[in-house]
């Protein structure tokens, strides 16, 4: 592939960027949008940019959304570029989602589970009718506070695990792979797959998850549990020699529970797919759990036939920054390539004539 060096576009590029800045600002009769407003009032966009930009910082994500005029993939791209300018101080201890300060927790498999069904700030059960009162600066109802405190909420896999009916978590104490440090290689272990899914494109992961439900590698899933809330992050700086708590993150976790026939060595039991992402992003966490389970087909002795079960296919195409780079590079000058193709076609026609 060859690109031809092009000169002479500087003035046009400058003018294009100046126009872009004016388009971004919009009509100045309207007040300028503040980054704080985006952070507070477009929280789900902020969550998505943090997840796919793979960097938890609400203000930076809001800034990127403003700069990208609300183009969330462009915003995630800006965040990925920014993170390369910063040194990494440490990695955290694995976050304890069992100790999450729950804001939402639902299970589709047990109605009366310990801790109950906590809906949180959900769009579920809304009628999806446009709310025209939002055209104005409408008043918001005051918070409803419950006199009853939340009860402890054990994780659904732990409840099922007491009877031994679900596969237990197994832990290998080895350093997990890191896609930001080492290029993707195959076979890719589950740690790398989960990292790729957590930062993958929501639309792509959603489509793949959906495909497993429609029969392309189906694994009979139930949403065992979805939980969202704050967890604390701990690191162990070398200069201190002990662990410290550096702040909170909002995470969404999904435990998908799937049928499993069993094998020669393992009795019939439920298997699991896992989803964990930055922010409040239930659709993505559920999709991630479906695709995680689908990619375990080989490990569990199931036939690998469907796209979602094909680890290379999923991992090579889940990253929207890579995907947009390769798709959009097609608009760069390919004048020389095309000239040679043109000559080829002419030559073939001449020889056919």
Partner 1 sequence: MTDSARSTHPDPARRRWMAVLARAEADRIAKLLAHCGNLPAHTIIRGPEGGLVMVRGRAGGGGSAFNLGEMTVTRCTVRTETGFIGHAYVAGREERRAELAALVDALMQDNDRNTEVETRVITPLERQQMERKAERASNAAATRVQFFAMQTMRT
Question: Scanning residues 277 to 296, which ones bind partner 1 (CB under 8 A)?
Answer: 277-278
Q: Segment 113-132, which members bind partner 1 (CB under 8 A)?
A: 116-122
Neighbours of 325 (CB within 10 A): 11
Three-state SS at 85: coil
The residue from 93, 329, 346, 347 that contacts partner 1 (CB under 8 A) is 93
313: which 2 tokens? 């296919």
**Residue 244 touches partner 1, criterion: CB under 8 A:** yes
Three-state SS at 208: helix
**Residue 302 touches partner 1, criterion: CB under 8 A:** no
Q: Is 47 exposed, middle or buried (0-12, 13-18, 19+ CB in 10 A)?
A: buried
Of 25-33, 36-44, 98-106, 200-208, the window that binds partner 1 (rule: CB under 8 A) is 98-106
- When the beta carbons of 42 and 289 are compared against partner 1, the nearer one is 289
Helix ranges (H only) for 142-201 are 156-161, 190-199
Q: List the strands of the sheet with 244-258, edge to edge.
A: 101-106, 221-235, 244-258, 271-278
**Residue 152 touches partner 1, criterion: CB under 8 A:** no
Three-state SS at 143: coil
**Residue 329 touches partner 1, criterion: CB under 8 A:** no
Residue burial 202-233, b: 16+ Cβ < 10 Å; e: rest? bebbbebbebbeeeebbbebebbbbbbbebbe
Three-state SS at 279: coil
**Residue 176 touches partner 1, criterion: CB under 8 A:** yes
* 89 Cα distance to chain centroid: 23
**Residue 184 touches partner 1, criterion: CB under 8 A:** no
The residue from 154, 184, 190, 307 that contacts partner 1 (CB under 8 A) is 190
Of 12-20, 274-282, 303-311, 334-342, the window that binds partner 1 (rule: CB under 8 A) is 274-282
- When the beta carbons of 99 and 342 are compared against partner 1, the nearer one is 99
The residue from 248, 299, 337, 341 that contacts partner 1 (CB under 8 A) is 248
Q: What is the dihedral of CA 349, 350, 352, 353, to 10 degrees?
A: 110
**Residue 149 touches partner 1, criterion: CB under 8 A:** yes
Sign of CA dihedral 63, 64, 68, 71: negative
User: Tokens 């290379």 map to which residue?
Assistant: 312
Whole-number minimum distance, CB 185 to partner 1, in Å?
A: 15
- When the beta carbons of 153 and 208 are compared against partner 1, the nearer one is 153
**Residue 274 touches partner 1, criterion: CB under 8 A:** yes
- When the beta carbons of 66 and 272 are compared against partner 1, the nearer one is 272
**Residue 265 touches partner 1, criterion: CB under 8 A:** no
Neighbours of 284 (CB within 10 A): 28
Instruction: Give the total of residues touching partner 1 (CB under 8 A).
Output: 89
The residue from 133, 146, 265, 351 that contacts partner 1 (CB under 8 A) is 146
Q: Which helix (H) or strand (E) covers residue 48, if one does?
A: helix 43-53
User: Tokens 């993939």 map to which residue?
Assistant: 73
Q: Contact at 8 Å (CB) between 253 and 218?
A: no
Q: Segment 43-82, which members bind partner 1 (CB under 8 A)?
A: 50-51, 54-57, 59-60
Distance between CA atoms of residues 185 and 117, nearest Å: 41
- When the beta carbons of 187 and 241 are compared against partner 1, the nearer one is 241
- When the beta carbons of 100 and 308 are compared against partner 1, the nearer one is 100
Whole-number minimum distance, CB 224 to partner 1, in Å?
A: 11
**Residue 87 touches partner 1, criterion: CB under 8 A:** yes
Of 15-23, 83-91, 315-323, 341-349, the window that binds partner 1 (rule: CB under 8 A) is 83-91
Q: Segment 202-231, which members bind partner 1 (CB under 8 A)?
A: 229-230
């Amino acid at each position: 592939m060859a690109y031809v060096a092009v000169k002479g576009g500087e003035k046009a590029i400058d003018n294009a960027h100046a126009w872009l800045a004016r388009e971004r600002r919009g009509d100045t009769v309207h007040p300028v949008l503040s980054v704080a407003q985006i952070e507070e009032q477009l929280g789900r966009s902020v969550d998505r940019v943090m997840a796919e930009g793979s960097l938890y910082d609400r203000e930076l994500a809001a800034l990127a959304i403003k700069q990208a005029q609300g183009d969330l993939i462009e915003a995630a791209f800006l965040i990925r570029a920014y993170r390369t300018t910063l040194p990494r101080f440490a990695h955290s201890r694995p976050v304890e989602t069992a100790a999450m300060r729950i804001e939402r927790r639902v299970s589709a498999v047990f109605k009366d589970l310990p801790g109950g069904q906590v809906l949180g700030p959900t769009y579920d059960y809304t009628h999806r009718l446009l709310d025209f009162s939002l055209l104005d600066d409408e008043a918001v109802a005051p918070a409803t506070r419950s006199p009853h405190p939340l009860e402890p909420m054990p994780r659904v896999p732990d409840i099922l695990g007491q009877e031994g009916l679900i596969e237990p978590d197994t832990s290998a104490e080895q350093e997990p792979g890191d896609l930001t440090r080492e290029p993707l290689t195959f076979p890719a272990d589950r740690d790398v797959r989960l990292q790729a899914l957590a930062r993958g494109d929501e639309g792509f992961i959603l489509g793949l998850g959906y495909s497993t439900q429609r029969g392309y590698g189906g694994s009979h899933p139930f949403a065992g549990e979805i939980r969202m809330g704050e967890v604390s992050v701990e690191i162990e700086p070398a200069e201190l020699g002990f662990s410290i708590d550096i702040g909170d993150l909002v995470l969404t976790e999904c435990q998908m529970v799937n049928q499993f026939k069993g094998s020669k060595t393992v009795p019939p039991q439920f298997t699991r797919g896992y989803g964990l992402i930055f922010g409040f992003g239930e659709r993505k966490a559920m999709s991630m759990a479906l695709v995680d389970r689908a990619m375990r087909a080989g490990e569990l002795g199931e036939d690998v036939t469907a796209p979602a079960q094909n680890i290379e296919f999923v991992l090579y195409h889940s990253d929207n920054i890579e995907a947009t780079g390769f798709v959009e590079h097609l608009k760069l000058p390919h004048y020389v390539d095309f000239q040679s193709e043109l000559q080829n076609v002419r030559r073939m026609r001449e020889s056919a004539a």
